[in-house]
Amino acid sequence: MELAKKAHQGQVRGTGEQYIEHPLRVALKLSQLGLDVDSVVAALLHDVVEDTPVNLEQIKKMFGQNVAKLVDGVTKLGQIRLKRSWFGFRILKQKEKPRLESQLETFRKLILATAKNIQVLIIKLYDRLDNMNTIEGMTQDKRTYFAQETLDLYAPLAYRLGIGEVKGELEDLAFQQIMPEQFASLKIKVKDAFQKRRADVKKNKHKILVLLAQQQIRVIDIHGRTKHWYSLWRKLKRLDGDLNKIYDLIALRVIVPTVADCYKTLQAIHSRWSAVEGRIKDYIAQPKKNGYQSLHTTILGPSNRRFEVQIRTPHMHDQAEFGVAAHWHYDQHKLIKDKIKPITSQHSQWLERLATWRQKIKDQNQLATALNFEIYSDRVFVFTPKGDIRDLPSGATPIDFAYTIHTSIGDATIAAKVNRKMVKLDHKLQNGDTVEIIFNPKHGQPHYKWLGFVKTALARSRIRRALRLRTRLGSVVRRFRPKRTA
């Protein structure tokens, strides 16, 4: 804390507040979520290396290897920026869209590959959320850029981590910046509908509570969930602006103790009000890809209007709001509980604990698969001079890169620059490198030696083809046989 304060001393943010307020808020949020101490310390120091004279060595000495590693990861993520030239893209024709989306997806992979670790990503997401909340401090131009990047990269990552709370907020904040007019007119458009639905929810809430009490189902919490602006706007666009087709403007969320209670609740509600066909979704039996679980149904409610009910356990609720971050939350709670609970040798208790452990291990495996950190660790992500991104296997060289641009460029490569410095053609590319290919269609031609170091099948097959063609034409290489490579 002292180090962060000293390091940021005198720095003032665009909003006029002392800089330290920002890392403090991020750290506080993470500690509320129950993240480990190292992550909270790293959150406090996350801008120190980037913006102040303090370096990683000092952090390592004072707070240990792990904190330094986390700070380093967040600093590196800060360097991944979408190029400004990308804005031109959005105005481009419809057919460019798939290309844009695949480029963005590659950027997201680069973020995962760079973060290497889940805590780094969580710190970065809450950092971004705080920056979006204090965005008035930026110039208009920077705001739009920052908001677009948030919408393109960080909100989808928050979704993938299952942190619904952050995803929804990031999107809404970005939406207001990027499309202020649409945001304003949406607000006007739904004003009346919101009022009606709010009244509905109030009535329905009461009736459902009574019903569940009759059925002796305990309700932990019941509340209205208002749909986020951005997701509402997108849904409306899909439905040609027809507000009447949106049943979850405000959904009613019912939280009950167990999974069995969830199904009982669903049944009770259906026995009383009629369910709208095709709107019952069992995300408990079939969770969404990001792990989201709940039962959803749309009923013809007491006020004769369709509205959505979402049923879940407290565990599912935390997962939906805090995603992977909820894991720490649970670990912490479990720790406290374990400490308080006297250790008895009761068989059942032991079994229960074993089951919890199993579940935990399973969850963590699922987590790793969902995020694919490992998959990306053997990839390397590099940029073209224009800021496009390319995804290559690690160990890839400028030749591999050249062939991803175009065969004719690969074939004609004579030299390469990485981060503006000349390198050999067998140079191994690193994450984040900017690669420039110098080529000459007249004089450049593939060399059989290239086969010894290229990493992609694409480059290998193109080189072989070019060599074969030349042999057949009877020019420079005669009776050449390419060396076998693994």
Nearest CB to Mn ion, comparing residues 53 and 98: 53
- Least Cβ distance, residue 112 to Mn ion (angstroms): 19
Nearest CB to Mn ion, comparing residues 127 and 400: 127
Q: Which stretch binds Mn ion (CB under 5 A): 120-128, 143-151, 279-287, 379-387?
A: 120-128
Please tell me which residue in 17, 50, 374, 378 is annotated as part of the active site. Answer: 50
Q: Which stretch binds Mn ion (CB under 5 A): 127-135, 237-245, 349-357, 366-374?
A: 127-135
Nearest CB to Mn ion, comparing residues 47 and 169: 47
Beta bridge partners of 282: 295
Residue 127 binds to Mn ion (criterion: CB under 5 A): yes
Nearest CB to Mn ion, comparing residues 38 and 127: 127
Residue 411 binds to Mn ion (criterion: CB under 5 A): no
Q: Which stretch binds Mn ion (CB under 5 A): 39-47, 242-250, 362-370, 473-481?
A: 39-47
Instruction: Give start and end residues of each alpha helix (H) in 34-133.
Output: 37-44, 48-51, 56-63, 65-78, 87-91, 97-115, 118-133
- Least Cβ distance, residue 131 to Mn ion (angstroms): 6
Which residue of the chain is nearest Mn ion when measured via CB?
127
Q: Which stretch binds Mn ion (CB under 5 A): 45-53, 114-122, 340-348, 364-372?
A: 45-53
Nearest to 256 by CA among 227, 216, 291: 216
Q: Find the binder of Mn ion among 7, 29, 42, 47 (CB under 5 A).
A: 47
Say whether 149 is catalytic.
no
Size, binding site for Mn ion by CB under 5 A:
2
- Least Cβ distance, residue 46 to Mn ion (angstroms): 6
- Least Cβ distance, residue 43 to Mn ion (angstroms): 9
Cα-based angle 105, 106, 108 (whole degrees, multiple of 5): 65
Q: What is the rounded distance in angstroms from the CA atom of residue 303 to the CA atom of residue 374?
A: 51
Q: Which stretch binds Mn ion (CB under 5 A): 123-131, 188-196, 429-437, 451-459?
A: 123-131
Please tell me which residue in 51, 72, 363, 388 is annotated as part of the active site. Answer: 51
Q: How far is CA 307 from CA 163, 168, 312, 374, in A?
A: 25, 21, 17, 42
Residue 149 binds to Mn ion (criterion: CB under 5 A): no
Instruction: Give start and end residues of each alpha helix (H) in 215-305.
Output: 229-238, 259-272
CA quadruple 160, 363, 124, 390: dihedral positive or negative?
negative
- Least Cβ distance, residue 416 to Mn ion (angstroms): 35
- Least Cβ distance, residue 282 to Mn ion (angstroms): 40
Nearest to 56 by CA among 40, 76, 26: 76
Nearest CB to Mn ion, comparing residues 119 and 413: 119
Classify strands 389-393 and 306-312 as parallel, antiparallel or unpaired.
unpaired
Q: How far is CA 71 from CA 113, 115, 279, 431, in A?
A: 16, 10, 45, 18
Q: How many residues does the structure list for the chain?
A: 486
Q: Which stretch binds Mn ion (CB under 5 A): 125-133, 188-196, 277-285, 361-369?
A: 125-133
Q: What is the rounded distance in angstroms from the CA atom of residue 77 to the CA atom of residue 369?
A: 21
Nearest CB to Mn ion, comparing residues 133 and 182: 133
Nearest CB to Mn ion, comparing residues 42 and 382: 42
Residue 70-109 contact track with Mn ion, rule CB under 5 A, x = bound: ----------------------------------------
- Least Cβ distance, residue 22 to Mn ion (angstroms): 6
Nearest CB to Mn ion, comparing residues 163 and 186: 163
Which H or E run includes 178?
helix 164-178
- Least Cβ distance, residue 87 to Mn ion (angstroms): 23
Q: Which residues are CB-neighbours of 22 under 8 A, at least 6 positions away?
A: 13, 47, 130, 131, 134
Q: What is the rounded distance in angstroms from the CA atom of residue 321 to the CA atom of residue 268?
A: 26
Q: What is the rounded distance in angstroms from the CA atom of residue 149 to the CA atom of residue 128?
A: 10
Say whether 50 is catalytic.
yes
Q: Which long-range contacts (CB under 8 A, 24 or more apart) does 445-450 make?
A: 445/411, 445/412, 445/470, 445/476, 446/410, 446/411, 448/477, 448/480, 448/482, 448/483, 450/399, 450/425
Q: Which residues are catalytic?
A: 50-51
Would you tell me which residues interact with Mn ion (CB under 5 A)? Answer: 47, 127
